[in-house]
Amino acid sequence: MTWLWSNLDLVGELILVHLALSVPAIILSFVISVPIGWLAHRYAWSRGVLLSLCALLYAIPSLAMFVALPPITGLGLRSPVNLVIALTLYGIAVIVRTAADAFDSVASDVRQSATALGYSAAGRFWGVELPLAGPVLLSGLRVVVVSTVSLATVGAVIGVQSLGSLFTDGFQRGIEAEIITGIVATILLALLLDWLCVMAGRLLMPWSGPRRSRRPALSDVRSIEADPA
Amino acid sequence: MIEFRGVSKTFPDGTRAVVDVDIVIPPRKTTVFVGSSGSGKTTLLRMINRMVDPTSGQVLIDGTDVATREPVALRRGIGYVMQNSGLLPHRTVIDNVATVPLLRGARKRDAHAHALELLDTVGLDRSLADRYPSQLSGGQQQRVGVARGLAVDPNILLMDEPFGAVDPIVRAELQQELLRLQGELGKTVVFVTHDIDEAFLLGDQVVIMQHGGKISQAASPTEILANPADDFVAEFVGADRGKRALHITEVGGRRIVLDGDGRAAGVLAS
């Protein structure tokens, strides 16, 4: 504990740095995966190719990715941008299949009903399909949040600062408390972001989640009697 | 008035859903397309609002070929009620009812005020306005579906097996509601069902479809019972089995109507 108290500033700074790496990667992988997932859902012939290609990204060893990216992007080996790109690619690999499933999960009669009401194709996407895909998209996003926060620590091995630096530094200098702090802080950060996602989901999708049970109002009694469903 | 002229539909997989249909749907009346599944009745219904385009032939509304109309604008002017209500699960009841007026650019306050009136029209309590569809019973959802179909006060109301998924008691209640509404509003209702009793109850004109998308007979229920066009129609309406051949017996001073199997069908009004 003494190590933690005397290094609070360092831990606080690394938490912010860690957020600066993982949050953009999480947002980017989500924003990129949703249209890919929609394409895979909409055009059956593209599904196998798109989903397999994205899943393959995950097979690239992370160290190899970190080494391979700088020559491609033209940025220095230790540029955090490379790490954000790598994390984004892994994030896409994790979420894109869920994104396709999310659009599949929208009931076809709701889709047809929206068309019959006079939604344009774009209006239907934004007003009906995307919101109704929301609960499944959220479950995919939560996996990406946790995996990205965890994976961002690997950057420390190639010298990009993050909470992972506490592992590498603690390991080299033999400070056990520093390693444990790094692990606990990473886990807590992942849990915090996951909780924020759940809260945002409740706020944005009040219609999903556990069905509210409430006592029927007096005005309902007539129709309830007539309709036991 | 809606008119089908020589309409056929062959789907890309080669299925012939509708073959050379000619039919006139009179205004301010209820026309019911009835037939078993695969008879093309839903396909015909969906040609009216261009959810399906015919392979050949024309569908005209008041003399204008719908093919010349922009589909999205066309649909926003035609009421549509479908099986399982087709409500948007992420919108409250009032937002569901106000959907089309809002799509057409109505102000939210006006659209909501009108939606509340429509809940009255279809016999729903206004306290349900802020619920989500999953919090309603099947019958209530179907009423919301009807209210939504009426929201822009369309001349034409298309109903695709709207009462198919509710239990018989609620279905009977909803059918009576529809008759009451139609008496008040006088829309051109095009209704699809596989239930011949429902067709006879609701239809001013009943169109009997046979498998393969051909019309067997289009006439009033009385005319169909009196003169079934062919054996298929006779069988479909049950005339051949004596289901419709009623006779009267006297029990305790009251005249009871029995069907061909001797089952009680009702009491004869004096």
Residue that wins the pLDDT comparison between B243 and B38: B38
Which 8-state DSSP code applies to residue B166? S
pLDDT tens string B61-75? 999 999 999 999 999
Let me know whether B82 and B45 are in one domain: yes
Residue B5's alpha-carbon distances to A158, A163, B19, B22, B65, in angstroms, are: 73, 73, 11, 5, 10
* Closest residue in chain B to residue A214, using alpha carbons only: B135
Let me know whether B55 and B66 are in one domain: yes
Assess B167–A contact: CB distance below 8 Å, yes or no. Answer: yes
Q: Give the per-residue pLDDT at B127.
A: 95
Let me know whether B195 and B110 are in one domain: yes
Q: Give the per-residue pLDDT at A221.
A: 42
Q: Contact at 8 Å (CB) between B5 and B60?
A: yes
Runs of H (alpha helix) within A44-175: 44-57, 62-73, 80-104, 108-117, 121-124, 130-151, 164-173
Which 8-state DSSP code applies to residue B243? S
Window B:209-238, CB contacts with A under 8 Å: none
Let me know whether B168 and B265 are in one domain: no
pLDDT tens string A58-104? 888 888 888 888 888 888 878 889 999 999 999 999 999 999 999 99
Q: Is A205 exposed, middle or buried (0-12, 13-18, 19+ CB in 10 A)?
A: middle
pLDDT tens string A27-62? 999 999 999 999 999 998 999 999 999 888 888 888
Please work out, in degrees rounded to the nearest 5, the angle formed at the alpha carbon of residue B101 by the alpha carbons of B100 and B104.
85
pLDDT tens string B7-33? 999 999 988 999 999 999 999 999 999
Neighbours of B144 (CB within 10 A): 28
pLDDT tens string B186-200? 999 999 999 999 999
Pick from A156, A221, A166: nearest CA to A188: A166
Let me know whether B247 and B117 are in one domain: no
Assess B91–A contact: CB distance below 8 Å, yes or no. Answer: yes
Q: Per-residue pLDDT for B180 more than 60?
A: yes
Q: How confident is the model at residue B157 (pLDDT cuts 50, 70, 90)?
A: very high
Q: Give the per-residue pLDDT at A209.
A: 66
Nearest-by-Cβ selection for A219 from B77, B127, B169: B127
Which 8-state DSSP code applies to residue A216? P
Q: Contact at 8 Å (CB) between B248 and B268?
A: yes
Instruction: Write out the residue range of the structural domain in which residue B131 sits.
Output: 2-240
Nearest-by-Cβ selection for B139 from A107, A131, A227: A227
Structure tokens at B58: 């024309």
Report how far residue A126's alpha carbon sits from residue A157's, in angstroms, rounded to the nearest whole number.
41
Let me know whether B132 and B255 are in one domain: no
**Helix/strand/coil for B20:** strand
Report how far residue A121's alpha carbon sits from residue B74's, in angstroms, rounded to the nearest whole number.
14
Q: How confident is the model at residue B88 (pLDDT cuts 50, 70, 90)?
A: very high
Let me know whether B54 and B139 are in one domain: yes
Residues of chain A in contact with residue B75, where contact means CB-CB under 8 angstroms, are 115-118
Q: How confident is the model at residue A225 (pLDDT cuts 50, 70, 90)?
A: very low
Q: Give the per-residue pLDDT at B259.
A: 79
Mutate one of B72, B116, B122, B136 to test the A interface: name it (highest A CB count within 10 A).
Answer: B72
Q: Per-residue pLDDT for A226 more than 60?
A: no
CATH number of residue B111's parent domain? 3.40.50.300
Let me know whether B129 and B251 are in one domain: no
Let me know whether B231 and B252 are in one domain: no
Residue A196's alpha-carbon distances to A173, A183, A186, A191, in angstroms, are: 35, 20, 15, 9
Q: Give the per-residue pLDDT at A39.
A: 94
What ipTM was predicted for this assembly? Answer: 0.86
B28 phi-psi bin (left φ>0, alpha ψ -120 to 50, beta other): left
Let me know whether B256 and B131 are in one domain: no
Residues of chain A in contact with residue B88, where contact means CB-CB under 8 angstroms, are 110, 113-114, 128, 132
Distance from CA of A129 to the nearest CA of B (A): 10
Residue B95's alpha-carbon distances to A68, A131, B150, in angstroms, are: 52, 15, 14
Q: Per-residue pLDDT for A151 more than 50?
A: yes
Q: Give the per-residue pLDDT at A220.
A: 42
Let me know whether B168 and B246 are in one domain: no
Number of domains forming the structure of chain B: 2
Cβ–Cβ gap A114/B88 under 8 Å: yes
Let me know whether B153 and B181 are in one domain: yes
Q: Give the per-residue pLDDT at B164.
A: 86
